Chains A and B, each alone.
Chain A
């Protein structure tokens, strides 16, 4: 029994952009502020300085959060058109609302990555920060023995998995971010990437209704696309 992923946009009135994303039992909120004034120390003459802050559900920021921050930054930095806003700061705050397990281990940290990334991208869209492309991320587990793939696995699936992968793709299907752990061959990895790409890519313009029916359920890419479309429709109601 899997819990369907959900996302929502623009519910924090005081930040420039906000979004929430939940996948399985993991739930996060992201907010984006910027472009705004930057600390002198961080100012970059030719581009915007991007800051990612991860706040844990319980307790204070530790090395685990620092690690998540650096991974999120590495995924988000290349998709933001930083040169559009030189000498400014774009701040992305990710607040963990609920994590899949209470243990502070590698698997729960891994499960936080994809939802955080999705929430951050949605919040950037909501804030109107210029982006090169839209990333969507998912988690894939590769099971021992059978070689079965589970997309968006639960904590229990991951415990039994031979390898765990967090992948992010642009809407055009380019691989933007990888975090894979476990023991696997390169051929397995290729299969995992293919499975991830299917879930993450949001059908291109024009083939909205026909071709993507064969994927069955709703992929992350399409969910994100749907949420943004609904938001835009709602915001532009006055023009109708």
Chain B
């Protein structure tokens, strides 16, 4: 054919460009006017989340949250931790304490928001698991460092940053005795499974934890003095929800520098997996009800200064409103 004689032009589809040189692929997108990300979003646009609650019938509370292609399931199950061991006269045998310094007097000071009590008795157990094949980087085997770190971040958010769950709501007391005595605790097992991972797991996982905790309904448990045991009421109408503190939501950002000729940096809200792999610098802001900041984390680079953090806080406050509306409409 005549056309076959023309010299071949070196050209390849965008997907090849993305694989060959991921960082310049992202930079070229952001250099266009208006700046646009490979996913089609503007730098300050988050992905739209969806929430479904109580889809797991065997958990006391559950939620499925999805933002873009990141989807997680969170289940909350309550189990009873008895402080008394054995039946009858053998009660008061074993008390579960984690640290030698923690004793019952130590709990009276509520200045740490009950964190000491929750921690010492491990009343809240969080675990995040990456589902098989949830992302390209998934390797079978024991929990990766990434999963462990995320679990730890969620645990910290839950216990120390937000004090969402107060220990009083988990205590099961002997109400008939003259002096109210805690006989047992509810232990909340919060298990999060990531079905699909496309970046920014923390925001999605945290929202799923909040939604699942808000949907949690525990049976009425009481101390039966005759049986000397904790008894649960099977009556579904008597199941009660948890008393939760102020809502708080996180917003994560990735920062990429060197976009303009002057080395200007761009903050990308809610980065997806590709953007996370290219951008090293990241910022996380957690906002509480009323617009107060509960947590700021920044690391991985020097490009984002104070103005950048101010912008992140502003975007995080807007994001808080979106999550709040969604969670409140999902749980009427």
Contact = CB atoms under 8 A, between A and B. Distances in A.
A107 B296 CA distance: 15
A184 B293 contact: yes
Contact of A177 (B292, B298, B306): B298
B152 interface: yes
Contact of A77 (B152, B295, B300): B300
Contact of B280 (A69, A77, A102): A77
Given A66-B145, A106-B115, A178-B297, A190 B302 contact: no
A64 B98 CA distance: 15
Q: How large is the interface on B (under 10, 10 to 19, 20 to 34, 35 or more residues)?
A: 35 or more
B262 interface: no
Contact of B115 (A79, A105, A176, A189): A105
Contact of B295 (A67, A104, A176, A181): A181
A71 B294 contact: no
Interface string B243-283: 00000000000000000000000000000000000001110
A189 B285 CA distance: 12
Contacts of B300: 74-75, 77-78
A139 to B, nearest CB: 14
Contact of B160 (A67, A105, A189): A105
B196 interface: no
Given A66-B148, A71-B299, A186-B310, A159 B293 contact: no
Contacts of A83: none
A63 interface: yes
Contact of B112 (A66, A105, A181, A186): A105
> Could you say which of B100, B148, B151, B313 has the most chain A C-beta atoms within 10 Å of its C-beta?
B148
Given A105-B112, A160-B111, A186-B293, A174 B288 contact: no
B24 interface: no
Contact of B301 (A63, A78, A102): A78
Interface string A183-206: 111100110010000000000000
A180 interface: yes
B45 to A, nearest CB: 22
Nearest to A61: B148
Contacts of B149: 63, 66-67, 69-70
Given A67-B152, A186-B310, A179 B280 contact: no
A117 to B, nearest CB: 10
Nearest to A67: B152
Contacts of B159: 106
A133 B301 CA distance: 11
B155 interface: yes
Contacts of A207: none
A18 interface: no
Contact-residue bracket for chain A? 35 or more
A118 interface: no
B160 A106 contact: yes
B262 to A, nearest CB: 16
Interface string A60-89: 000110110111001101110000000000
A210 interface: no
B305 interface: yes
A171 to B, nearest CB: 12
B29 interface: no
A183 B309 contact: no
B101 interface: yes
Nearest to A178: B298
A235 interface: no
Interface in B125-158: 145, 148-149, 151-153, 155-156
B330 to A, nearest CB: 26
B61 interface: no
B298 A175 contact: yes
Contact of B116 (A69, A105, A178, A181): A105
B116 A103 contact: yes
Contact of B161 (A66, A69, A78, A181): A181
Interface of A: 63-64, 66-67, 69-71, 74-75, 77-79, 101-107, 133, 159-160, 170, 174-186, 189-190, 193
